């Protein structure tokens, strides 16, 4: 399966498979009924029925047939919906996701230390296990939708909603905010990375570590620039400056595939461009630019952030 797939037609999760099956059955039934009605319409144009037989057609085709077909589809869809993943289960892994304009904060509970592990725009999950996402919003209404894995769920400020994901195969599944939430709604993407339970545990253990040390001159310069430019007013780097929650946690930003919620691939060059002028890549984003920074400092800062794997 190609990476970054965002398609309801290629289900890779429990709920997505049910939804896809459901859609195909409805589409098939709708097609059959449409063809039958068109055939009857053509027939009626060609011959005149006696009034008694016309009444039979109206009663049968206009009342009995829809009652039977719609009742059957209603019963079947109710039975099928009951098979969707339950909204909570004791052995599900719980992850908190908070939508913000225009990115996703993702929080894990570290069983080893009891602390929270905070990351952004990437939800890593183990395969073959139910994962319960507790959903909330910090500002306006957003909606989480990862079509290959599950249905859509609104994220409403002041209210916790939930969605259960269950990926059957390892892969990277793209998701998108599905509720208009302002200027950069379109650039509010996320990726669900499903890996084997063992790989997931290894990933979580790496994320629980504090930021990689700045063990060279240029990295030390980059870390110094981070503090000098007061990046820590919005961003946390665990082990360097903690507490800020306005912008994404950058402790392991170099390990993520993208910056700016799917806007750019993570690379020293894109980080440098983003820091200098984030408005160029994502107009309206709340991060201020740093165009007055000299090139050497900008490069050191980007090198340092890329190093935070
Ligand atoms: Cu968030 Cu649209």
What would the pLDDT profile of 260-292 be if each residue is shown by its tens digit? 999 999 999 999 999 999 999 999 999 998 888
Ligand 1 centre to CA of 306 (Å) is 27
Q: Mean pLDDT score of the chain, rounded to an integer?
A: 91
* 9 — pLDDT class (breaks 50, 70, 90): confident
**154, 161 Cβ separation under 8 angstroms:** yes
What is the dotted CATH code of the domain comprising 93-207?
Answer: 2.60.40.420
Residues 263, 266, 270, CA angle at the centre, nearest 5°? 75
Cβ of 99 closer than 6 Å to ligand 1, yes or no, is: yes
Output the pLDDT for position 75: 94
Task: Find out whether the beta carbon of 181 lies less than 6 Å from any atom of ligand 1.
Answer: yes
188 lines ligand 1 (CB under 6 A): yes
What pLDDT was estimated at residue 1?
43
Q: What is the pLDDT of residue 4?
A: 54
Residue range 177-198: mean pLDDT, rounded: 96
Region 18-33: mean pLDDT is 92
Which ligand 1 atom minimizes the distance to the CA of 185?
Answer: 2
Distance 108 CA to ligand 1 centre (A): 22
- Give yes or no on whether 93-207 and 217-307 have one common fold: yes
Nearest Cα to 70, choosing from 26, 100, 115? 26
Closest ligand 1 atom to 101 CA: 1
**144 in Cβ contact with 185 (< 8 Å):** no
The pTM of the full predicted model, rounded to 2 decimals, is: 0.88
Span from the CA of 23 to the centroid of ligand 1 (angstroms): 25
Residue 51's pLDDT is what? 76
Q: Is the ipTM of this complex over 0.95?
A: yes
Q: What are the tens digits of pLDDT across the range 70-84?
A: 999 999 999 988 888
pLDDT(234) > 60? yes
Q: Give the position, in ligand 1's atom list, of the atom nearest the Cα of 188.
A: 1
Q: Lowest mean pLDDT: which of 40-54, 114-128, 167-181, 293-307?
A: 40-54
Q: Whose CA is nearest to atom 1 of ligand 1?
A: 142
Task: Inform me whether the pLDDT recorded for 253 exceeds 90.
Answer: yes
**What are the domain boundaries of the chain?**
14-81, 93-207, 217-307
Give residue 30's pLDDT.
92
Tens-place pLDDT, residues 107-141: 998 877 888 999 999 999 999 999 999 999 999 99
* Predicted local distance difference test score (pLDDT) of residue 46: 81
Would the pLDDT of 54 be above 90?
A: no
Strands (E), the chain: 93-100, 103-109, 116-120, 122-126, 131-137, 142-145, 152-155, 161-165, 171-177, 189-195, 258-259, 264-265
CB 168 within 8 A of CB 12: yes
Cα(263) to ligand 1 centroid in Å equals 14
User: 3-state SS of 84-110?
Assistant: CCCCCCCCCEEEEEEEECCEEEEEEEC
Closest approach atom of ligand 1 to CA 178 = 2
Give the percent of the chain with pLDDT over 90: 74
Please tell me if the CB atom of residue 189 comes closer than 6 angstroms to any atom of ligand 1: no
Count of residues making up the chain: 309
Residue 185: CB within 6 Å of ligand 1? yes
User: Does the pLDDT of residue 90 top 80, yes or no?
Assistant: no
Residue 86's pLDDT band, with cuts at 50, 70 and 90, is confident
How many angstroms separate the CA atoms of 272 and 274, rounded?
5
Q: pLDDT by residue (tens digit) across 237-246? A: 999 999 899 9
| Residue 225 confidence (pLDDT) above 50 | yes
Q: Please determine, for residue 189, whether its predicted confidence score (pLDDT) is greater than 80.
A: yes
In short, whether 177's Cβ falls inside 6 Å of ligand 1 is yes
Cα dihedral 237→239→244→247 (10° resolution): 10
- Please check the confidence at residue 176 and state whether its pLDDT lies above 90: yes
- CATH node for 217-307: 2.60.40.420
């Amino acid at each position: 399966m190609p990476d970054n797939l965002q398609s309801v037609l290629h289900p890779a999760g429990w709920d997505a498979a049910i939804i896809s099956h459901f859609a195909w059955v409805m589409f098939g039934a709708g097609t059959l009924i449409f063809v039958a009605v068109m055939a009857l319409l053509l027939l009626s144009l060609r011959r005149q029925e006696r009034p008694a037989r016309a009444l039979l057609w109206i009663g049968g085709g206009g009342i009995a047939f829809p009652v039977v077909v719609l009742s059957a589809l209603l019963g079947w869809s109710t039975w099928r919906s009951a098979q969707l993943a339950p909204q909570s289960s004791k052995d599900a892994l719980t992850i908190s996701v908070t939508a913000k304009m225009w990115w996703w904060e993702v929080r894990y509970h570290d069983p080893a230390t009891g602390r929270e592990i905070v990351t952004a725009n990437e939800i890593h999950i183990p395969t073959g296990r139910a994962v319960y996402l507790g959903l909330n919003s910090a500002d306006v209404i957003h909606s989480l939708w990862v079509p290959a894995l599950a249905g859509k769920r609104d994220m409403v400020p002041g209210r916790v909603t939930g969605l259960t994901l269950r990926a059957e195969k390892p892969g990277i599944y793209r998701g998108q905010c599905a509720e208009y939430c302002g200027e950069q709604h379109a650039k509010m993407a996320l990726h669900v990375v499903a890996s084997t339970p063992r790989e997931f545990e290894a990933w979580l253990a790496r994320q629980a570590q504090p930021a990689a040390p700045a063990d060279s001159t240029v990295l030390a310069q980059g870390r110094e620039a981070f503090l000098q430019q007061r990046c820590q007013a919005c961003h946390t780097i665990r082990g360097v400056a903690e507490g800020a929650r306005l912008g994404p946690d950058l402790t392991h930003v170099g390990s993520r595939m993208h910056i700016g919620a799917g806007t750019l691939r993570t690379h020293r060059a894109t980080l440098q461009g983003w820091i200098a002028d984030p408005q160029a890549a994502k107009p309206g984003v709340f991060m201020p630019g740093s165009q007055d920074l000299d090139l050497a400092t900008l490069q050191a800062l980007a090198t340092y952030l890329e190093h935070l794997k």
